[in-house]
């Protein structure tokens, strides 16, 4: 009996210590950031650089948000398109930090789930809210099942469709001969 109590005590202490060990998670989003200030700064920079603002709303808890961020970070064409055409802002949403003022300002994009993308012009006007589900891959893997993740071509088409040039009517006027 003494042996069982000793084993249970060791297991309890180990479990307690392990449960209290702080796990290092992903820290792409800053829960303490002032989202409205970040949006204002990005909008001011975008106006000066003749760009739009690309807002990614999500959280460090969201595997799809992290996967999207990692895909952009490791895919040269996506990184280039964003850098050339947008000021990129990450707005955190989690159970403790709802960023209610930012969500209202952005048109409550979180209604589409996470991540969700919002394109703002250089004046801060919401031009588009993009549900990321439409950017997911349709590719079928070797196992016959749909691959999990986002599609680079779909993302790039979305991004290019919301550049300053893409929404400027002058872009589509016939050229003088």
Distance CA 52, CA 49 (A): 9
Q: How many CB atoms lie within 10 A of CB 151?
A: 17
For residue 119, what are its two tokens?
């394109």
Helices 152-160, 76-85: crossing angle, 10 deg rounding: 10
Q: Where are the domains of the chain?
A: 35-168
Strand partners, 58: 92
pLDDT band at 48 (very low <50, low <70, confident <90, very high): very high
Answer positive or negative: Cα dihedral of 165, 170, 175, 176. negative
**pLDDT single digits (tens) 11-46:** 444 444 434 333 457 799 999 999 999 999 999 999
Identify the CATH number of the domain defined by range 35-168.
3.40.30.10
Distance CA 35, CA 89 (A): 9
Residue 83 has pLDDT above 50, yes or no: yes
């Amino acid at each position: 009996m003494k042996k069982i109590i000793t084993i249970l005590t060791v297991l309890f202490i180990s479990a307690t210590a392990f449960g209290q060990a702080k796990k290092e998670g992903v820290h792409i989003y800053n829960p303490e950031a002032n989202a409205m200030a970040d949006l204002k700064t990005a909008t001011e920079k975008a106006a000066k650089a003749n760009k739009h603002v690309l807002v990614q709303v999500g959280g460090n808890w969201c595997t799809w948000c992290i996967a999207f961020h990692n895909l952009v970070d490791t895919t040269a064409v996506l990184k280039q398109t964003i850098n050339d055409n947008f000021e990129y802002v990450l707005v955190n949403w989690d159970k403790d930090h709802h960023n209610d003022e930012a969500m209202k300002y952005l048109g409550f994009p979180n209604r589409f789930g996470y991540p969700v993308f919002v394109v703002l012009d250089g004046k801060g006007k919401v031009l588009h809210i993009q549900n990321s589900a439409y950017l997911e891959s349709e590719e079928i893997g070797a196992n016959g099942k749909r691959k999990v993740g986002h599609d680079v071509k779909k993302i790039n088409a979305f991004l290019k469709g919301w550049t300053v040039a893409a929404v400027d009517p002058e872009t589509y006027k016939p050229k003088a001969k």
